[in-house]
Amino acid sequence: MSRQSWGDPDAIPEGSDVSLEAVLTVNGAISPSQITSSGTFTVSIENTVLPIQTILTDELSDAVIASAGLVRWDITSAQTSGWPAGTFDGDIKLVDSGGTITYWPVSLRIRSVVD
Q: What is the pLDDT of residues 1-36, one digit of tens each?
A: 678 899 988 999 999 999 999 999 888 888 777 777
Question: pLDDT by residue (tens digit) across 52-77?
Answer: 889 999 999 999 998 899 999 999 99
In the chain, the amino acid numbered 24 is L
pLDDT at 37 over 80: no
pLDDT at 110 over 70: yes
Element (H, E) at 12: strand 12-13
pLDDT at 79 over 70: yes
Q: List Cβ neighbours of 52 (8 Å cut-off, separation of 6 or more).
A: 46
Query: Concatenated DSSP letters for 52-87?
Result: P-EEEEEEEPSEEEGGGTEEEEEE-HHHHTTPPSEE
Nearest to 73 by CA among 47, 40, 95, 101: 40
Looking at residue 115, what is its pLDDT?
A: 65
